[in-house]
Every structure is written in structure tokens, then in C-alpha cells.
Amino acid sequence: MTDAKTQIDETVKSNDVVLFMKGTKTMPQCGFSSRVAGVLNYMGVEFTDVNVLSDDAIRQGIKDYSDWPTIPQLYVKGEFVGGCDIITEMTLSGELDQLFDTNGVEFNKEAAEKIREANA
């Protein structure tokens, strides 16, 4: 398990935005992962995707690493942000925009506004 923790830690710390998900950003394998990847893709955020289905040690390891029981899990600049429900709420409230702005992560502000308008 130490190898998985080391691998997770290195991935989280060496990439600005990381999504641990079921599947990939181009082919999500669950609805929750699809929703978060879809938001990030639509907003034009460059992110690293880690498919937990391809490695059982990573799949369990990420839950232990964050002390969060579900996947997907989003990390920005090494910090755990949350899962699907939290990312959805943050997107709709504008908090995700603020988080990206604060951390210097580029994203399409117009796309973020369109998501909010569509869900108003």
C-alpha cells in the first residue's frame, strides 16, 4: 500500500489539477466521474485523469489518502477539493471559479457561466 500512497502523493503534488475517477476523461465509466470530468472538460481545465479501475491499489489507496470514501476525487494544487456533489455545488455557486482563480488554474469563465445559467 505504501507504493500506491507514494504514487498518489507524487501525482497529486506534481499536477495542478488531478481527477481520480472511474474511467478516463474521454471515456468515463460511471455517472459521477462523467459529471465531474464533463464540467472540467467543458470549462477547458487542463487536468490529469487517473483511472482507478485500472489499479486496485490506487482505487483503495486514494480513499485512504484523502479519508474520503467515494470516487471521483478532485485535487487542485495538491489539495483535496471533493467528490461529485461538492464539485457540482461549487460549480453552481461560483466557488470552483474562485478556487481556480486563486490557484492560477486557467479555465473558460464563459463556459462556467453557461453551466450556471443552464442550471438556474
Residue 63 host element (H or E): helix 56-66
Q: Could you give the CA distance from residue 73 to residue 37 in angstroms, rounded to a whole number?
A: 10
- Measured in Å, how far apart are the chain's first and last C-alpha atoms? 44
CB-count exposure of residue 76 (10 Å: 0-12, 13-18, 19+)? buried
- Strand, helix or coil for residue 35: helix
Is the bond preceding 28 in cis, omega lying within 30 degrees of 0? no
84 is in an annotated binding site: no
* Positions at the binding site for [2Fe-2S] cluster: 30
* Positions at the binding site: 30
